[in-house]
Amino acid sequence: MSYTPFASAQPSSQASAKTRQIAHLAQQLQLLAQRTEQLEQLSATTAEQASYMRLLGGYHAAWFMASQRVMTPGDASDDQGEAQGQQGQ
């Protein structure tokens, strides 16, 4: 039997490599957990903002419908003609 330094050093180097890999994996998992929590917070904020955007869209739709009634020239002349007809009677 011959003694080889490489053969005896190999198990300890594998153990240290495994330890480093496990430490790196733990660090990556911690980072993933932090980013998942941040994503959850951002998703909640986005959902809240979406409800406000829905309300804002409703307001804009109401403004556009109201402005259509005010700005349509045909309706304005009909209303004025009716008003003058009623005043003349």
64 in any annotated domain: yes
Residue 42 forms part of a structural domain: yes
Q: Is 36 left (phi over 0), alpha (psi -120 to 50) or beta?
A: alpha
Query: In a structure prediction context, what are the per-residue pLDDT tens digits for the chain, which is 89 residues long?
Result: 555 555 555 678 888 999 999 999 999 999 999 999 999 999 999 999 999 999 999 999 999 988 888 888 775 555 555 656 666 55
Query: How far is it, in rounded angstroms, from Cα 57 to Cα 53?
Result: 6
Residue 59, SS3? Answer: helix
**Structural domain boundaries, residue 43:** 13-72
CA distances from 52 to 5, 42, 55, 58, 79 (A): 71, 15, 5, 10, 37
| The residue to which tokens 């008003």 are assigned | 83
Short-list 20, 39, 42, CA closest to 31: 39
Residues 43-68 pLDDT 10s: 999 999 999 999 999 999 999 988 88
Q: What is the DSSP letter of 39?
A: H
**5 located within any domain:** no
- Structural domain contains residue 84: no
pTM for the model stands at: 0.52
Task: Tell me if 79 is assigned to some domain.
Answer: no
Residue at 1 is within a domain: no
Judge whether 85 lies within some domain: no
User: Total domain count for the chain?
Assistant: 1
Identify whether 19 is part of a domain: yes
